[in-house]
A = this chain, B = another copy of it.
């Protein structure tokens, strides 16, 4: 039932780009990596999706509570930068997370217009539960890489990210440690 049509011999058509086409294009498409990224990410987020369903949440909720948990005191504006979605989309899921007690707000000290966001114990528990699932998959994948494998993968992923206009969270991730800034 799952295997129909096997007599029609399917073969990746990209093999033809093995022909060095007059030496004009120096970089043949990385079909393999492109597709592996698709499948890997699909299964990676799939882990969390199943659990989230039981909570009545979606991926959007996960992303919000995850970053709030990891970077306590994040403001709404920061979150918009990180997620690259609109205020509307964010406020919908953020409101639910606030109402259901996964996140709390606190007015900023220096600027009382800001709403600093913090995950509650409930929120942290959810984030950790999901991170544990995803970490299992990552550890499993890193295990059969030689030593230095994790470093190589980390370097690769960092290099895949756009560097122009990095937001606060991205800065922290890319350049490690807390962000020191001499304002105030």
Task: Give residues in A with beta carbon < 8 Å to B.
Answer: 2-14, 27-44, 46, 63, 69-75, 77-78, 81, 84, 108-111, 114, 116, 128, 131-132, 134-146, 149-150, 152-162, 165, 167-170, 172-173, 177-181, 183-184
A142 nearest in chain B by CB position: B156
Expressed in whole angstroms, the minimum distance between the Cβ of A140 and any Cβ of chain B is 7
B156/A110 in contact, CB under 8 A? no
B173/A33 in contact, CB under 8 A? no
Task: State in angstroms the CA–CA spacing of A89 and B74 once bound together.
Answer: 36
A41/B37 in contact, CB under 8 A? yes
Expressed in whole angstroms, the minimum distance between the Cβ of A30 and any Cβ of chain B is 5
Task: State in angstroms the CA–CA spacing of A103 and B155 once bound together.
Answer: 38
Q: A84-B42, A131-B31, A145-B155 are in contact. Are A178 and B10 (CB under 8 A)?
A: yes
B12/A71 in contact, CB under 8 A? yes
Task: State in angstroms the CA–CA spacing of A167 and B10 once bound together.
Answer: 12
Task: State in angstroms the CA–CA spacing of A132 and B25 once bound together.
Answer: 10
A153 nearest in chain B by CB position: B156
